[in-house]
A and B are shown apart, each in its own frame.
Chain A
């Protein structure tokens, strides 16, 4: 069966990242738990054009550190050849122009000395900088005037003793993490130290750190490049999605290390919700969720002025502190109509009470609405964590299962696939609730909710099978069921994401909030 094949090939490619993931995932604050993605390798294949692209797929490329270095070297060599300047200077110029080679060359051809000046390259060329002993020299930093003192100056000619230069550079590199824009120590001099001068001056250890920092600025300078945020991952990802497009696409990329994240905001995969909604949602949750829960559970509003009231004891006769309205806590009706039943109220059907309860209900709706989505969001977040725990226990049992039932390692991998499908689908489900919270009703929301429901039911069913005791898991019938369900879950997820992404791209969703942060222009999709 062909789904089977799919899983088997996934397993091998994903296998080595799993243990790493589990350690890091549970600790962080901003942690939604799970990065594993069963079809990560399929994504990259799609990227290469093997499969038809889904609407939520975007093209991106993963670069390893050596690729990043190579790109920089190529650019530097090109500029070095075209403009007839040293490689060190070419690098400084490129950094100054944020690696925009075309603009650099154009500007340089136009007004070379101004460009060199602005980039921190002195125009006087007195040969490459080197260490020197200058008779009668006094260092302006340490005031040392010993004869035979080694000194150094950049092309600007501000000369200091080598010892002070070293101190200065190590402070900048180690203390301040500066590399690309270390200036001459002289006050107001903007000449920038180049890589070759640095190599002459400092210890190899510091040089290594310097080059590492330089290397980083390349990625940080370019809008189309970002570091993979996974701990200890050194890869960079290139993706052409711009900030202003974030209302139309959720640019989810997956690194070679297995980590899936959003290129727009660097948070873990949050499809189908657009970045701005995610930001708002997380902020809202951080602010409100516990408070809102408590308010919902413990308070009611005064039927007259809507002040929130907590009843902390005593009888049902309430007098609002603010507006002095007197009412019954049980039925919310006027106290004056109430007679003497102070400790129990049996007049639920009276008119004044019903009206007050209606008003109460209305004011609760928005709170309840939020809690509805929040609770489901939080539930999936937590369930994914629990599923993962169970998986780790299951992993040990998979080994047992192999021993007892004689199944091979390959034959028990269906549990691995199921676990990963659970994680990924729950991650998606979780964000569908944040998405739905901001979604205004139109004729498309029903399809969305159906997709959400289908995925949710499939996931819960798979989750239940997955929790079965190990003895039952060995049963070949259950194994087939789990494999089928796993593939069904993955398919439902793809359908949901495809639908939401397509509508987002075409601006067919209506949201009850803005989709772009201030400054960017809202596309037609934001409001109608």
Chain B
């Protein structure tokens, strides 16, 4: 039950992209279509989970003064493993992700989870936390990728879903579109939250009125 909570908090409440506004570079750079967004999401899911396991397993051995360099070394090693694997089995995706793949090393979310969670908890909860955050990240990436691909190209996963009548605004899959789409997504999430808060406040007022 408790583990389930660790897992679900990364999905919405502490979603790395929309809530924590961490690791925005990949969220904009590789989300011009769904396939790349999913590939990047799964890579980060793998790296963050493995790194959380490693950090939590060695948390009693690592001296607090040198912890950040140790975490970075660990992340860099795992990223190298992921890169070599992708290069061998999915060379097309590897080329598409290009420079952003080695840059996974410096994604703030991975270091942040190691520092905030894995350094203080045992292996199993850390693994679950990494999985939850990774899945939350992937969901965020795929959402942005889907919106940009459907609006900007009229397709989903490479399949044309909107007919020939649709003239896609190219700007959405170019650089500026990424910024604008993510701005509006965060705006909609804020609006949603406000509405929920208003509703609960109203319910409280109503409850207060009857007593």
Q: Do A and B bind each other?
A: no
A interface residue numbers (CB < 8 A to B): none
B interface residue numbers (CB < 8 A to A): none
